[in-house]
Amino acid sequence: MSQENFQVVRKPLRVRERWSRKLDQRLSLRFPRLFAAYARLIGRLSPDSRLRQAAVGRATRLGLEAFNRRDLDALRVGYHPDFEFHPPREAVEAGLVDSYYRGWTRNLTYISDWSEVWGADLRLEPVELIDLGDRLVWLAVLPGRAQASGVALSEKWAAVGTLKDGKVIRQQDFLDHAKALEAVGLSE
């Protein structure tokens, strides 16, 4: 797919160390149907819409902050009930993880297994959010330390999320920014 066939909005992205949920996260957990309607409306907007950019940027930032503090209920809000996760190819080939995980409960298994290997310090430091309309690309750095060996890790991490009804229904992770960008028809 060539870049001329879709709109691309690229934004730098940063997260803060937040140890509690923001009001909108608490409301989305308390009123999931209301949040689902909001997500559908935002999902219909063009990627260059200022409202969509603000909403998607904030949702992404809050989701990454939730991941970093392991608040998996708050993280789940942005994911479709039929969510399917595909880990990085390198982890699958090494036999560390399954080739895909269907449903949020199975995804929790993946997060738990990954956290056991890399320890509680595992976090994502985002670099950029790319909105393609029906897909989002997240680029980040994954610093950490292996729990058993103490080996320091600073990998590039990227994910391509496919949207349905304004929520992520499929996510493919990569340990290389260039491969994630290539997967959506972009270059660095």
Handedness of CA 164, 186, 87, 25 (dihedral sign): negative
pLDDT of residue 157: 93
pLDDT of residue 119: 66
Which residues contact residue 115 at a Cβ distance below 8 angstroms, ignoring those fewer than 6 apart? 70, 122
pLDDT of residue 2: 40
Averages of pLDDT over runs of 10 residues in the chain (188 residues) are 63 82 92 95 95 95 90 92 94 88 89 73 89 96 73 84 97 96 91
Q: Are 157 and 137 in contact (CB under 8 A)?
A: no
pTM, two decimals, is 0.87
* 16 phi and psi angles, rounded to 5 deg: -110, 165
**Most distant CA atoms of the chain, gap in Å:** 47
As given in the structure block, the two tokens for residue 120 are 């509680």
The amino acid at residue 16 is: R
Show the domains of the chain with their CATH numbers.
10-183 (3.10.450.50)
As given in the structure block, the two tokens for residue 132 are 């393609």
| 165 φ/ψ sector (left φ>0, alpha ψ -120 to 50, else beta) | left
